Structure 1
Amino acid sequence: MAENKSPEEIEQQMAQFKTWVNSQPHLPKDLEDKLIRRFLHSCYYNFEQAKSAAELFCTIRASIPELLNDRDPLSPQFQKTFKIVNLAQIRISGNRNLWIWQLNDPGLELFDYIQDVRLFFLSMDAWLLNEEHLEDADLVLLDVKDISLKFITKFNVSIARKLAKYQEDALPIRLKQIHLVNAPPFIDKIFGLMKPFLKQEVTDMVHFHSPKSDSLYKYFDKDDLPDDYGGTRGTMDDHMQHVMDVIISKRDILMKNNLWKAEKKNKNKSDAVKDSFRSLAID
């Protein structure tokens, strides 16, 4: 198993990876060692898979300036989003990461799907810049208590398709479970919007938990969950403050419009980045 590689073998892979990156003119040269290590780790040290993930990671990022440019966390636009969303990034038992998204906007009056995706990229990038610990599994908890059928009118198919590809095949994490808590009866209609973009292996990871259900505890010890979900790990407000602190600490880097983005391979092509993007079966 590649997981059993020695530290020396991993360092050798790291060196080979950096040599490969430097040999690719279109790839960015701002991939830090901890990010390269995370690509290798997330792919269980399969070198070719790690290269493919990193290539896709940088290529997709270059194709979505509307999500990655002009993202000052202190801007009114982001400050508005921070008021209706709580995020948590918690290391829990079993060397696992728990990612939580909690929406607090009952009427969906302030919710903006694209701005929410921008927040995902902002907070995830801050985490990648800040975190060096390598986890064995990543678990996602989405609190959909305030989601209504109005969400359908705010959904953006093009953005959702790119986001799904990025999360499934490019993001250097080990996604294992996705939990939707406080799921309303019509959640199947909302989930139906996403399902066409998701791989079967990802849809198989999804678990629904209705309001007041205790089914979540079949997957998590209460000591692993925030107080908001019957646990002992502090409040979501406190966790959001920590996420905000990390984002602000990395603000200068996060505001760089070219962070981890591939460049056009050939200036004679009208849009080489998008061509490469299409070749990776996005559309």
Structure 2
Amino acid sequence: MVLMAPLPILTVHGYTAVYCRLLDSDVKKFIFSDIVRTAMIILDLWQYEEGTWPGFVIMIDMDGTSIGHVTKLDVMTVRQLLYFLQECMLIRLKEIHFLNAPSFMEKLMMLLRPFMKKELLDMIKIHEPGSKKIFKYVPLKAFPKEFGGEYKDRITLRDEIICRIESNKEFYKDENLRRVNEALRPGGQKTTVEDLFGIQGSFKKLDID
């Protein structure tokens, strides 16, 4: 189980921020492709409800992660996700913060770097456990209570997100109906998207949809 919670306060630069972390640290239950699917579902609904933003910040709290989680990251899904972040997002990604970075953080970065452009690498900020530097970007009070902030606790945030998804089933049905019918698309030279995902055209018609 993963938490992906939009925070109630903008960053110091006026960007919208989302806080992510594992709720269950059991490596046996960690399925990266399912986590990415969940993130896409939440992000789609969030954009639908709020519209566009001047900038987007992702904060990933690494507390509770282990090297075992890294070994379960399948390279193809990592590659797909990073392609999406760099080429397909409808909002402008501004910063990525890794909080409570563990001792194996460099091993994780070794896996990610081959699929990242310099522009994305430059957005990444790594914060060691106990570091206060994140609060130069996002006020402490914006974080969940377990992180020391004044926002809601993690379980409440999880339950609220589940409730929002369940109450917007019609939105997801409409989204599925609006997907491109790839059978009608004329053939041609394969693009990077097709090479990555096995289709021509719409990125969102992926296994991480």
TM range (shorter): 0.7 to 0.9
Structure 2 counterpart of 1:220: 138
Give secondary structure in 1 for the equivalent of 2:7.
strand
> Structure 1: how far apart are the matches of 2:116 and 2:173?
30
Aligned-pair CA distance for 1:204: 0.9
Give secondary structure in 2 for the equivalent of 1:180.
strand
> Structure 2: how far apart are the matches of 1:276 and 1:108?
35
> Structure 2: how far apart are the matches of 1:90 and 1:130?
14
Structure 2 counterpart of 1:275: 190
Structure 2 counterpart of 1:118: 37
Closer, same or farther: CA 279–251 of 1 in aligned 2, 3 Å: closer
Closer, same or farther: CA 109–268 of 1 in aligned 2, 3 Å: same
Tell whether the 8 Å contact from 1:253 to 1:259 is kept in structure 2 after alignment.
no
Closer, same or farther: CA 144–255 of 1 in aligned 2, 3 Å: farther
Tell whether the 8 Å contact from 1:89 to 1:239 is kept in structure 2 after alignment.
no
Structure 1, unpaired ranges of 5+: 1-83
Aligned-pair CA distance for 1:203: 1.1
Structure 2 counterpart of 1:247: 165
Tell me which of 87, 97, 101 is aligned to 2:4: 87
Tell whether the 8 Å contact from 1:88 to 1:101 is kept in structure 2 after alignment.
yes
Tell whether the 8 Å contact from 1:145 to 1:183 is kept in structure 2 after alignment.
yes
Which structure is richer in relative contact order (CA contacts within 8 A, separation 6 or more)?
Answer: 1
**Alignment identity in percent?**
24
Closer, same or farther: CA 260–201 of 1 in aligned 2, 3 Å: farther
Tell me which of 92, 98, 104 is aligned to 1:174: 92
- Deviations along 1:84-103, one digit per CA (max 9) or x if unpaired, are 21221124235421111110
Range with bigger deviation, 119-128 or 229-238: 229-238
Pairing of 1:103-182 with structure 2 (within 5 A) = 103-132=22-51, 134-182=52-100
Closer, same or farther: CA 226–265 of 1 in aligned 2, 3 Å: same
1:102 and 2:17 matched: no
Q: Taking structure 1 as the reference length, what is the TM-score of the superposition? A: 0.61
Closer, same or farther: CA 201–281 of 1 in aligned 2, 3 Å: farther
Structure 2, unpaired ranges of 5+: 199-209
Query: How well do the aligned residues superpose, as a CA RMSD in angstroms?
Result: 2.7
Of the two, which has the highest radius of gyration?
A: 1
Tell me which of 93, 108, 128 is aligned to 1:210: 128
Tell whether the 8 Å contact from 2:80 to 2:196 is kept in structure 1 after alignment.
no
Closer, same or farther: CA 170–196 of 1 in aligned 2, 3 Å: same
Q: Taking structure 2 as the reference length, what is the TM-score of the superposition? A: 0.80
Structure 2 counterpart of 1:190: 108
